A = this chain, B = another copy of it.
Amino acid sequence: MFTLSQINRFLLGKPLPTSAYSHERLTNFAALAILASDALSSVAYATEEILLVLVAAGSRSLGLSLPIAGGIILLLFVITLSYRQTIRAYPQGGSAYLVAKENLGLHAGLVAAASLLIDYILTVTVSISAGIAALTSAIPALDGYTIELCLIAVVLLMVANLRGVKEAGRIFMIPTYSFIISVFVLMGLGFYKYSTGQVIATVPLLPVSQPLSLFLILRAFAAGCTALTGVEAISDGVLVFKPPEWKNARTTLLWMGGILGLMFIGITYLTQAYHIIPEEGQTTVSLLAREIFGNGFFYYFLQLATLFILLLAANTSYADFPRLSYLVSRDGFLPRQLSLLGDRLVYANGIRLLSLCAAVLIIIFKGQVNALIPLYAVGVFTSFTLSQLGMVIHWFKSKSSGWQQSAVMNGVGALTTAIVLGVIIATKFLLGAWLVVLAIPLLVILFLKIHSHYENLAKHFRDEELSPYRCPLPAPDTTIKHSAIVLVGYPNRGTLEALDYARLVAQEIVAIHVDIGTTNQAALRRRWEELEIHVPLVILDSPYRSVVQPILKFVSEFEAERPHGFSTVIIPSIVTRYWWEELLHNQTALFIRQALRSNQCRIVTTVRYYV
């Protein structure tokens, strides 16, 4: 049999000393691959989400996907410019939590933190679900195992991150660039075939279930906005760039915006040109790729690259979530355990918490991207807005050179993202966005509760220093003795050792035995004499067969007569060789211990006897 710690060691590797912690710096080319995977990978599902909304209004309305995508690209442009200002102002990395807390106050910071934490969880869930959808599109035989495959992906990411995956930085470039290249090849070949008139698909006629309304168009827009999730990653991670960090980060951000915009508009255009309509069991990108590439190597390569970049996107949350929860926990708004550096120099509890939340969401939403999308983007746009708004305040306060221009850019950014946030909430509220709208304030309340608990505790300890002791010790020269009560059954070797220990720690000892109607009291007393224990034995009758009540009553009365300092209750306990053997023994000791704990000045000690 392996112990838990051996299994851990095997999966996670040896512990690392704190001194091994270091920062690795990345070239722009590598940083783009790692930090932009979340944003870039969204093109794998964003177009489909737009189409899925429009399809309700019949096939003619599908043409609207192109102007909607155009609007989103415009929004991307505004946000990119806005975040370039953040990078300049926060060269150490400007997460929305930090920016909002510093410039808008604590509560805004907490709202940003709550939004971001929810968003990171959803990034894992959505990315993995979309990645598995790419896989099952390519291999339809796997279609029935969506949830299982998603959970396997969560576990793999968790284990990899608990090991610490920083070393592997450069390997991560492969999926991102494979994806970018294959999407561009897809677009190139797609345009070529289209322009040379090789496209034979005709517009299928779809039933109209809903008239085309402004609301529907806005809903499609809101669904497409998921393409923008992750664009903030570069501004959060300025420190991974080589010096001059902020300049490199700004350049990379621009590149990312450009590539993302091109891919998104290209795929949306082609989807329309090739008359692709969303289908059950196949992603839109998969349908498009089969159309353009046929069922050959390129098709499978694209699907695999899609799976991997989406896993990589999920993986960025595995860096972001523990880091943010460490910051929030260090400020006292989340449990302390989230700020502990684990064996392998990662915030292990944050990684575990993220995995748990993601797994629960996957199970609830059955790993369906489509069902998760209405929840997604609410958090992102809340943090976008707060962060940009914080930046506006920042510029007004700092008044550094060129601040007016930056303030305008951030102001436009804040206004735009605020409007989009409104649109997202309004159009997707009933579809699931309400969950997030509800969860954010609840999470903030939780933060504040946790904070006040830690504060109260600290205050309590400061106040206590001056108050009198609760279990006053007798003065050193008095004759008052320390008393111990030993619980005994029918006496065996375990009982004797417990009595020995009592003799070591106490000057006055009494043994008590509870008779629930099954004890031969005379025989017990005889045996007690025989063993020459020389400790008074009290037998308590229990007509109601409760073991706990008579003990509690006796101990309380015993202590009332001896009001000084601590008393010790000693419970002998048999420790069996195997854990399952424990089940064969009465677990009353557990209840007794629980019941006796209520008194502060009573110490309950278990003396274990190993068989």
Show the binding face of A for B, using Cβ within 8 Å.
15-19, 335-337, 340-343, 450, 453-454, 457, 460-461, 464-465, 469-471, 473, 482, 492-493, 497, 500-501, 503-506, 516-517, 543-546, 565-566, 568, 574-576, 581, 583-587, 597, 600, 603-611
B residues less than 8 Å from A543 (CB atoms): 17-19
Report the Cα distance A254→B575, complex, angstroms.
53
The reply to whether A15 and B457 form a contact with Cβ atoms under 8 Å apart is no
Report the Cα distance A457→B574, complex, angstroms.
10
Shortest beta-carbon distance, A44 to chain B, in Å?
Answer: 38
Shortest beta-carbon distance, A547 to chain B, in Å?
Answer: 10
Shortest beta-carbon distance, A524 to chain B, in Å?
Answer: 15
Q: Residue on B with the closest CB to A544?
A: B15
Q: Residue on B with the closest CB to A16?
A: B544
14 pairs of residues in contact across A and B, judged by CB atoms under 8 Å = A15-B545, A18-B543, A340-B586, A341-B545, A457-B574, A465-B493, A469-B497, A470-B497, A471-B497, A473-B500, A501-B603, A505-B506, A505-B568, A604-B606
Q: Residue on B with the closest CB to A581?
A: B453
Shortest beta-carbon distance, A603 to chain B, in Å?
Answer: 6
Report the Cα distance A461→B609, complex, angstroms.
11
B residues less than 8 Å from A457 (CB atoms): 574, 576, 611
Q: Residue on B with the closest CB to A470?
A: B497
B residues less than 8 Å from A506 (CB atoms): 505
Counted per complex, copies of this chain come to 2
Q: Residue on B with the closest CB to A602?
A: B608
The reply to whether A450 and B603 form a contact with Cβ atoms under 8 Å apart is no
Report the Cα distance A464→B342, complex, angstroms.
44
Shortest beta-carbon distance, A433 to chain B, in Å?
Answer: 28
Answer whether A544 and B584 are a contact pair too, CB < 8 Å, given A457-B611, A497-B471, A607-B603.
Answer: no
The reply to whether A460 and B18 form a contact with Cβ atoms under 8 Å apart is no
B residues less than 8 Å from A505 (CB atoms): 482, 504-506, 568
B residues less than 8 Å from A545 (CB atoms): 15, 18, 340-343
Q: Residue on B with the closest CB to A21?
A: B517
A482 interface neighbour in B497, B504, B610, Cβ under 8 Å: B504
Q: Residue on B with the closest CB to A461?
A: B492
B residues less than 8 Å from A516 (CB atoms): 18
Report the Cα distance A500→B546, complex, angstroms.
34
The reply to whether A584 and B454 form a contact with Cβ atoms under 8 Å apart is yes
B residues less than 8 Å from A576 (CB atoms): 453, 457
The reply to whether A584 and B15 form a contact with Cβ atoms under 8 Å apart is no
Shortest beta-carbon distance, A82 to chain B, in Å?
Answer: 37
The reply to whether A609 and B603 form a contact with Cβ atoms under 8 Å apart is no
Q: Residue on B with the closest CB to A574?
A: B457
The reply to whether A586 and B337 form a contact with Cβ atoms under 8 Å apart is yes
Given A18-B544, A18-B545, A335-B584, 6 further pairs, Cβ under 8 A? A336-B586, A461-B493, A473-B503, A505-B505, A597-B608, A603-B606
Top-5 shortest CB links A-B = A505-B505, A464-B493, A461-B492, A17-B543, A15-B544
B residues less than 8 Å from A605 (CB atoms): 603, 605
The reply to whether B587 and A337 form a contact with Cβ atoms under 8 Å apart is yes
B residues less than 8 Å from A17 (CB atoms): 543-544
B residues less than 8 Å from A586 (CB atoms): 336-337, 340
Report the Cα distance A493→B565, complex, angstroms.
15
Shortest beta-carbon distance, A595 to chain B, in Å?
Answer: 10
Report the Cα distance A374→B144, complex, angstroms.
30
B residues less than 8 Å from A517 (CB atoms): 18
Q: Residue on B with the closest CB to A457?
A: B611
Report the Cα distance A493→B468, complex, angstroms.
11
Report the Cα distance A505→B509, complex, angstroms.
13
Report the Cα distance A342→B517, complex, angstroms.
12
Q: Residue on B with the closest CB to A337?
A: B586
B residues less than 8 Å from A568 (CB atoms): 505
Report the Cα distance A545→B587, complex, angstroms.
35
Shortest beta-carbon distance, A181 to chain B, in Å?
Answer: 42
B residues less than 8 Å from A497 (CB atoms): 469-471
Report the Cα distance A278→B457, complex, angstroms.
68
B residues less than 8 Å from A493 (CB atoms): 461, 464-465
Answer whether A460 and B611 are a contact pair too, CB < 8 Å, given A16-B544, A493-B465.
Answer: yes
The reply to whether B471 and A500 form a contact with Cβ atoms under 8 Å apart is yes
A565 interface neighbour in B342, B504, B546, B606, Cβ under 8 Å: B504
A584 interface neighbour in B336, B342, B546, B584, Cβ under 8 Å: B336
Q: Residue on B with the closest CB to A339?
A: B518
Report the Cα distance A516→B21, complex, angstroms.
14
B residues less than 8 Å from A608 (CB atoms): 597, 600
Report the Cα distance A482→B503, complex, angstroms.
11
Report the Cα distance A482→B337, complex, angstroms.
35
B residues less than 8 Å from A16 (CB atoms): 544
Q: Residue on B with the closest CB to A15?
A: B544
Report the Cα distance A574→B460, complex, angstroms.
12
Q: Residue on B with the closest CB to A456?
A: B611
Report the Cα distance A501→B605, complex, angstroms.
12
Report the Cα distance A18→B516, complex, angstroms.
9
Report the Cα distance A18→B342, complex, angstroms.
54
B residues less than 8 Å from A607 (CB atoms): 603
Among A461, A568, A574, A610, chain B packs the most CB atoms within 10 A around the CB of A461
Report the Cα distance A587→B543, complex, angstroms.
39
Report the Cα distance A291→B258, complex, angstroms.
76
B residues less than 8 Å from A500 (CB atoms): 469, 471, 473, 565-566
Q: Residue on B with the closest CB to A570?
A: B603
Report the Cα distance A15→B16, complex, angstroms.
57
Shortest beta-carbon distance, A13 to chain B, in Å?
Answer: 12
Report the Cα distance A583→B76, complex, angstroms.
41
Report the Cα distance A337→B590, complex, angstroms.
14
